[in-house]
Chains A and B, each alone.
Chain A
């Protein structure tokens, strides 16, 4: 059974600070996804990481993937209030051109305070 673990589960940080969210998974996979969810809303795709060493950046968020360590990180630079949300990482076990369901972590609830 594929397990996806995120930490921390709750994070309160001040505006302007940097922090990293970690996502570990239990079986071999080379595809990892990060989503954002605002309260009461659906999931918004942030990053798709498809290979070992993949790094993607969008604004103040940067995601990376180390498939050998089965670890992905989501780094937040100079946090602002608008980044307050829950962040999920998800892994699938697909190795072909067909779609595979995602296995999600429990999410990291981020609160950015003044």
Chain B
């Protein structure tokens, strides 16, 4: 069964360091999303891609976060420099981008900033 892949699964870093997360969506899914989930809350959108283009990055803290999906397939989310408040689960999801819009989530990357 096709799944969204993410790596690493866990990342511990010190504040001011750079971190990067990788996501490989389900094959054929044109739309890719990065969400951040703080413990005890629902996920919140950081950035949405349609193929290689950014559709919505209004909630992405652009002074420290960047995201790319160069070939319209896999994607990388980077944080530089990391801050204590960035500790969270980072979830990648993908969908066909059709009206049905069912989004499938990857296992997530648990980031801890010390």
Residues of A that sit less than 8 Å from B by CB: 4, 31, 33, 35, 40-45, 48, 50, 88, 90, 92, 94, 96-102, 104-107
Contact = CB atoms under 8 A, between A and B. Distances in A.
B41 A99 contact: no
Contacts of B105: 35, 42-45
B99 A33 contact: no
B97 A104 contact: no
Classify the secondary structure of A's interface with B. loop
Tell which of A40, A43, A99 has the most Cβ of chain B within 10 Å: A99
A31 B100 CA distance: 8
A94 B101 contact: yes
Contact of B99 (A41, A43, A97, A101): A97
Nearest to A48: B102
Interface string B51-78: 0000110000000000000000000000
A56 to B, nearest CB: 12
Interface in B73-114: 91, 93, 95-108, 110
A45 B103 contact: yes
A88 B102 CA distance: 14
B43 A94 contact: no
Nearest to A9: B40
Interface of B: 30-31, 33, 40-45, 48, 50, 55-56, 91, 93, 95-108, 110
Given A97-B99, A98-B50, A99-B50, A104 B44 contact: yes
Given A42-B105, A45-B102, A94-B101, A99 B42 contact: no
A106 B101 contact: no
A92 B44 contact: no
Nearest to A30: B99
A97 B102 contact: no
A43 B98 CA distance: 20
The 8 closest A-B pairs by CB, nearest first: A104-B42, A99-B31, A99-B97, A101-B45, A43-B105, A42-B105, A99-B95, A42-B107
